[in-house]
Structure 1
């Protein structure tokens, strides 16, 4: 199973769909938000063209088979509210890293938790991975809670690992092993 299956995942309130350059305007709504981009590891997208370039880079990585990306959309109105991803896939050790980003208008509504549940189920079942990992900036309490709600355990901490906005932050390392 490949990217196509990842793009077809469906939950109670959200579904995943293929990442497309044509959706750049909706994606730019959160990639251009300082508060959203602060902790996600992507640079702030100041222009729509920067967002288009970023989408093109993600699509190249996906077509190379090294990453999985999907837009997260609401079932109620089909609006794109975020991006889901699986990356750093190691086929020898059978593990990968997961990531997710949501428009701040949709924080605290359970969509992040549902997204991680879909990502995890796909990675364990369709990709038959043994372990999933996620790295979170310690100040990103909401993201840490999302992982914990999905059964991820805090496995470690890297002190002063991130340097964001002229300040050091610790990295929280979470992991989940296939049941």
Structure 2
């Protein structure tokens, strides 16, 4: 049996909605908010990448993301709170493997909005979209082993911890461990 990614799920960009949130395309409208987020030490604590040196670096990253979305290789949403149109964070799929019908999910949220259920709420529309609209069979998350909040979020959404990779990632002068979580369509809650 062959499974194919549904290209129509990428264009036009899929705007998603929940009771409190509006998920829209992550684009240059949000460069300043993304810069603030990516230079926040709390946000970057578990993201094993250097902080951006300036706004131009964030702009280039967003532009590269747009190009990946145009090529049906990624989907990246800005998470906006409906009541006041505030940018809370972002969520999306990247490393989409068409042949094997899987993609990696990534997400981040401004610490001011942690522990309000916003990311769990975003998951309620983004995960079904991956399976029902994009045609994915599997979604993976690669998590820093110390990021308990992210691991808890994933498990509550139905993900299973599948692997503990020892020292599989080199960052900032050291090898780091990571945990891999997986969700199959049949596991979706």
Instruction: State how far apart, in whole Å, the 2-side matches of 1:84 and 1:5 are.
Output: 18
Alignment of 1:143-158 (within 5 A): 143-158=150-165
Unaligned runs of 5+ in 2: 1-7
The answer for the alignment partner of 1:37 in structure 2 is 44
User: CA deviation digits over 1:142-170, x for unaligned, max 9?
Assistant: 11111011000001110123344555432
Asked if 2 retains the 8 angstrom alpha-carbon contact of 1:66 and 1:88, the reply is yes
Asked if 2 retains the 8 angstrom alpha-carbon contact of 1:154 and 1:172, the reply is yes
> In structure 2, do the counterparts of structure 1 residues 58 and 34 end up closer, same or farther at CA, with 3 Å as the change threshold?
same
SS in 2 for 1:147: helix
Shift of 1:79: 1.0
The answer for the alignment partner of 1:113 in structure 2 is 120
Deviates more, 1:169-178 or 1:6-15: 6-15
Asked if 2 retains the 8 angstrom alpha-carbon contact of 1:94 and 1:129, the reply is yes
Alignment of 1:48-87 (within 5 A): 48-87=55-94
> In structure 2, do the counterparts of structure 1 residues 5 and 116 end up closer, same or farther at CA, with 3 Å as the change threshold?
farther
Shift of 1:7: 3.8
**Cα RMSD (Å) of the superposition?**
1.9
Considering Cα pairs closer than 8 Å and 6+ residues apart, tell me whether 1 or 2 has the greater RCO. Answer: 2
SS in 2 for 1:69: strand
Shift of 1:35: 2.2
Calculate the TM-score normalised by the size of structure 2: 0.86
Instruction: State how far apart, in whole Å, the 2-side matches of 1:6 and 1:22 are.
Output: 15
SS in 2 for 1:129: coil
- Asked if 1:132 corresponds to 2:139, the answer is yes
For these two proteins, the number of residue pairs brought into alignment is 179
Instruction: State how far apart, in whole Å, the 2-side matches of 1:34 and 1:99 are.
Output: 18
Instruction: State how far apart, in whole Å, the 2-side matches of 1:164 and 1:141 are.
Output: 20
Which of 68, 89, 99 is 1:92 aligned to? 99
Shift of 1:112: 1.6
Instruction: State how far apart, in whole Å, the 2-side matches of 1:5 and 1:176 are.
Output: 26
> In structure 2, do the counterparts of structure 1 residues 116 and 43 end up closer, same or farther at CA, with 3 Å as the change threshold?
farther
Instruction: State how far apart, in whole Å, the 2-side matches of 1:38 and 1:123 are.
Output: 27
